[in-house]
Amino acid sequence: MIAEIVSIGTELLMGQIVNTDAQYLSRRLNALGISVFYHTTVGDNPGRMEQTLRLALSRSDVVITTGGLGPTGDDLSKEIVARMLHLPMERDEESMRRIEGYFSAMHRDMTHNNERQAMFARGAIILQNDRGTAPGCIVEQDGKAVIQLPGPPYELTDMFEKRVLPYLARRTGGAIASRYIRIFGVGESDAETRVKDLIDAQTDVTIAPYCSLGEVQLRVSARGGSEEEALERIRPTVEAIAARLGDAVYAVSADPADSMEHYAVDALTRAGRTVAVAESCTGGLVAARLVAIPGASAVLHEAHVVYANEAKERYLGVRPETLEAFGAVSEACAREMAEGLCARSGADVAVSTTGVAGPGGGTPQKPVGLVYVAAACPEGTFVRELRLNGDRQRVRTLASLHALNMIRLAALRALR
C-alpha cells in the first residue's frame, strides 16, 4: 500500500509553523508497513488544493490530508474532496451535537460558521475528535481512501491513534510489530557500523536507523499473522543488536515517542528513589523535561537554577575556595553542587550541571561547549566532562540529556 501525506496550510509554506504532523504520520505509517512515497504541502488556495489532491490520488492508495477542517472560509479540504469524487455534502447530526456540547462545556458561544465542521461527503466514515471541534473523516472510492485529519498535532495524534490506526490495520491485513532500540552515547555511524551485517541481511525483518539530537534509534519491524507472531519474529534481531551495543542501549520500546526523561522517571519510580536537580548552564531544562513526564511528582524532590556563584554557595554549599581555585565550570564545582544538594535536600539522587553554553564566555582553557554533569547517590558521586559543539540551545539540550541519563543510571544502581 502506497500513501501520500498532503499538508494544507499557507502558514506551513511561509515557515510560520513546523510541519510535525507529516513527520509523525510517516513514522506511524511505516510502522504499519505502508510506504510513504510523497510529502506535499499546499497553501489554502482552492485551485492548487484540488490540483494537488488529484495528483496524490492518481499515484497513491491512501491520501492523508492534514489541516483545512476549521470553521473559517479558507478551510475547504472536505468540500474539495467531495467535489472531486462527485459526492454531495451532508450534515451529520451527531457531529453537530458534539460540537455544540464542546462549546457548552467550555462556556463559549458557538458561532454560525462552526456548523460547517459537521458537513461531510456522503458516505464518509466520520472520525470523532475528542480534543477539538473539527471531526475528521475517511472518504472511500474505487479502492482508494482519502483520510482527512485536523492540523493541530494535539488533535491529530489522538484521532490517528484511536481511529485511523485500526482502520489502516484492517486494510493492510495481518499485523506489523515494531520495537525501537534507543541508543545514547554512540553516534549514528558507529551504531550502524556495529550492526551493518544485520541491516544488510534483512529479509522479513527490517532495521531502520533514525537519528535525533543526542541519540540514535533503530526500528526493528516485521509482519505476521498476529502481533504476537510478528513480535516473535523480531525478538532474535532485537536481542542481537542489544548484545552488540551493550550499555549504549538504554531502552527497547514499543513507542517511538518515548524519551530519556521517560526512562529516568521510570527508573526512579522502580527504584523507589527521589531526585533533586541543581542547574547552572541548562537553566531549568533538566527539571522541565522531568516535569513533562506523568508521575514525576512522585520522584522529583526539588530543583534549583543556580546561575550566580553566590547562589551555588548559598543553596548548595559550594565552597568559595573551590570557586576561587577551579571556577564554576569545573569538575570540583559540579561535584560539590551535586553532593551539597543531595545532603541539603534529602533526595536519594542529586544531579548538577555547570558549563559554558555560549556563544560567548569561552576561553582557550574553558571553551564554549565545556560542560560538567555530576550525580550524587548512595553509591558515590559520578562526574562527566563533556565537550559539546553547536549553538547555545544545542549545548543546553545535549547537556540535559546527559544529566537525565545520569539520573537514570543512578536509579538503576539501586536495582542491581
SS3 at position 144: strand
**Mean pLDDT within 104-115:** 90
Mark which of 209, 226, 253 sits at the end of a domain. 253
Q: 391 with 341, same domain? A: yes
**Mean pLDDT within 159-168:** 92
Structural domain that includes position 304: 260-413
pLDDT score, position 258: 87
Q: 153 with 7, same domain? A: yes
CB contact set of 261 (below 8 Å; sequence gap of 6+) = 289, 290, 292, 293, 404
Q: Each residue of 184-242: pLDDT tens digit?
A: 998 888 998 999 998 888 678 888 888 888 999 998 988 888 888 989 999 999 999 99
Q: Each residue of 390-407: pLDDT tens digit?
A: 999 999 999 999 999 999
Q: 387 with 365, same domain? A: yes
Q: 38 with 148, same domain? A: yes
pLDDT score, position 154: 92
Q: Each residue of 251-288: pLDDT tens digit?
A: 999 887 789 999 999 999 999 999 999 999 999 999 99
Q: Each residue of 46-75: pLDDT tens digit?
A: 999 999 999 999 999 999 999 999 898 888
Q: Residue 193, exposed/middle/buried by CB under 10 A (0-12, 13-18, 19+)?
A: exposed
Q: 185 with 319, same domain? A: no
The 3 state secondary structure assigned to 33-76 is CCEEEEEEEECCCHHHHHHHHHHHHHHCCEEEEECCCCCCCCCC
**Distance from C-alpha of 379 to C-alpha of 3, rounded to nearest angstrom:** 52
pLDDT score, position 31: 73
Mark which of 141, 172, 203 sits at the end of a domain. 172
Q: What is the pTM of this model?
A: 0.77
Q: Each residue of 368-391: pLDDT tens digit?
A: 999 999 999 999 999 999 999 999
8 A C-beta contact, residue 160 and residue 168: no
Helix (H) or strand (E) holding 99: helix 93-105
Q: 45 with 91, same domain? A: yes
Q: Specify the CATH number for the domain of residue 313.
A: 3.90.950.20
For 128, how many CA atoms within 13 A lie in the half-sphere containing its CB? Answer: 7
**Mean pLDDT within 171-191:** 87
Chain length of the chain: 416
Q: Each residue of 5-43: pLDDT tens digit?
A: 999 999 999 999 999 999 999 988 887 778 999 999 999
**Distance from C-alpha of 198 to C-alpha of 178, rounded to nearest angstrom:** 16
Q: 213 with 144, same domain? A: no
**Distance from C-alpha of 302 to C-alpha of 225, rounded to nearest angstrom:** 49
Q: 207 with 327, same domain? A: no
Share of the chain above pLDDT 70, in %: 100
SS3 at position 202: coil
Amino acid at 311: A
Q: 272 with 396, same domain? A: yes
Chain CA centroid to CA 13, Å: 23
Share of the chain above pLDDT 90, in %: 80
Cα dihedral across residues 247, 253, 256, 258: positive or negative: negative
Residues facing residue 217 across a β-bridge = 182, 210
Q: Which residue in 416, 307, 295, 284 sits closest to 361, CA to CA?
A: 307
Q: Which residue in 115, 113, 89, 78 sits closest to 100, CA to CA?
A: 115
Q: 274 with 403, same domain? A: yes
Residue with cell 564554549: 368
pLDDT score, position 175: 76
**Distance from C-alpha of 318 to C-alpha of 27, rounded to nearest angstrom:** 46
pLDDT score, position 64: 98
Q: 87 with 105, same domain? A: yes
Residue 102 pLDDT grade (very low, low, confident, very high; cuts 50, 70, 90): confident
DSSP class of 160? I
Q: Specify the CATH number for the domain of residue 27.
A: 3.40.980.10
More confident residue, 345 or 211: 345
Q: Specify the CATH number for the domain of residue 218.
A: 3.30.70.2860
pLDDT score, position 202: 64
Mark which of 131, 153, 172 sits at the end of a domain. 172
Q: How many domains does the chain have?
A: 3
Q: 32 with 98, same domain? A: yes
